[in-house]
Structure 1
């Protein structure tokens, strides 16, 4: 039975693996503020034994991005339209966007490894949601695109940093400004995709990866993720010190001296 199923998001847990599914295939898993709140809640509901989270979209597309209804005067039922939000005080608008971003940040927690299983379109907010995960396994029909600038906007759902980290500044800039599609071969070559497989083999490839991720000791995996996530922002001496501290914790734990 799902731990959560609302607003286009379903969360199920199988021991150490959680599955978060965007489950509005008729709308190609288009995103809305309600969906973002459900994604945030899914992160909060994860039981402590979960080590790996798999994110996927039902149907032929991972996510076609933001539902354009957000830009209509009416907006969504019970929600302010983005046009209405624009008229609010700057601090209030900032707080609303920060709340939206929470749906995209918890995937980077150091106690989890998160895997996006991506097929079909992953556009705008869909692209940023895939970028929120640690790893991406893609079907050979994948089409990434960052279309925000074409709407007069910017990518604001935490996707800019991981995109630059993965493909470099110049390529990230070109992708975002042109809004062009990035297909499977380029995604794998540039590091957006950890692996590309035929669409019919996507679930099996993800299952194999999950099994491999669950093999090592959890604390060693968590410490390693923490080291790698901070590697680009620490100075070299800081990184060396972080490695020493992490290894000290691991050695004490293996010797039975942990707290």
Structure 2
């Protein structure tokens, strides 16, 4: 079966990122398989742009990578004195003021934040290597479906850095503090079996079944009433920051909105 990328003209296609929309499902594809979808500031800005370009009619966003690897992480040219043409190197960033450095990292993070907004459900389809920034991009999504050859690794600490692309919060939430710390400070690989058993991934399938498994999941999500999905996602995302009684109250308020809406009494 042809992918959406082959059937529909892209809304965006630059800097190693392609956005295609097929009805209620959008697909964001990393398109530099020759470099194992290595990431750069230009790619991060384009991911943020893709989030702004997703139409309001979209309910599911699928994130995938072309080739054998989802993303092998940061383009290592960023570590060289010259960096990437047109971009500040890490050395130049380090020499900037506190405010400038904070603003630069905040801009980098924007490409990783929109995947969890309540009006869409995001699915990362992850095969091969998902290292560093690649791991964090997969963590930015609501759900991860992985191929049986997947290898997650958080290598930032091994390079003298920290994971700063929004990955630490979901990682701790998924696998717990102790395992998250161990994964980060050792930089070891997490395989498909461990990813599923630890809660890091929802499902693991053979590589040749990854696209079909993601398509089936996206279809099941789209089949559910949109407003109920949005309310449920908001409830679950907020649960970690609420007390038990606060969550009960949030459930009551959400259900009241749903009942009134179904009865035609909504605002």
TM-score normalised by the shorter chain: which range applies?
A: over 0.9
- 1:115 maps to which residue? 123
Query: 1:131 offset after TM fit, Å?
Result: 0.3
Residues of 2 paired with 1:73 and 1:234: CA distance? 46
9, 12, 22: which one pairs with 1:14?
A: 22
For the pair 1:202 / 2:210, whether they are aligned, the reply is yes
User: Structure 1-normalised TM-score?
Assistant: 0.99
Residues of 2 paired with 1:91 and 1:239: CA distance? 37
For the pair 1:66 / 2:84, whether they are aligned, the reply is no
Q: Which runs of 5+ in 1 are unaligned?
A: none
- 1:27 maps to which residue? 35
Query: 1:50 offset after TM fit, Å?
Result: 0.1
Residues of 2 paired with 1:85 and 1:161: CA distance? 24
For the pair 1:184 / 2:192, whether they are aligned, the reply is yes
The range that moved more, 35-44 or 76-85, is 76-85
For the pair 1:53 / 2:56, whether they are aligned, the reply is no
- 1:214 maps to which residue? 222
- 2:3 maps to which residue? none
Query: 1:215 offset after TM fit, Å?
Result: 1.3
Residues of 2 paired with 1:48 and 1:205: CA distance? 25
Query: 1:187 offset after TM fit, Å?
Result: 0.6
Query: 1:236 offset after TM fit, Å?
Result: 1.7
Q: Which runs of 5+ in 2 are unaligned?
A: 1-8
211, 220, 225: which one pairs with 2:233?
A: 225
Note the alpha carbon deviations across 1:14-63, whole angstroms, 9 max, x for none: 01000000000000000000000000000000111000000000000000
230, 240, 246: which one pairs with 1:238?
A: 246
- 1:155 maps to which residue? 163
Q: How many residues align?
A: 259
The SS at the match of 2:152 is strand
The SS at the match of 2:165 is coil
Residues of 2 paired with 1:88 and 1:216: CA distance? 49
53, 75, 80: which one pairs with 2:83?
A: 75
- Cα RMSD, aligned residues only: 0.5
Query: 1:123 offset after TM fit, Å?
Result: 0.1
Residues of 1 paired with 2:242 and 2:223: CA distance? 29
Note the alpha carbon deviations across 1:187-244, whole angstroms, 9 max, x for none: 1100111000000000011111111111110000000000000101112222111111
- 2:260 maps to which residue? 252
Residues of 2 paired with 1:133 and 1:179: CA distance? 21
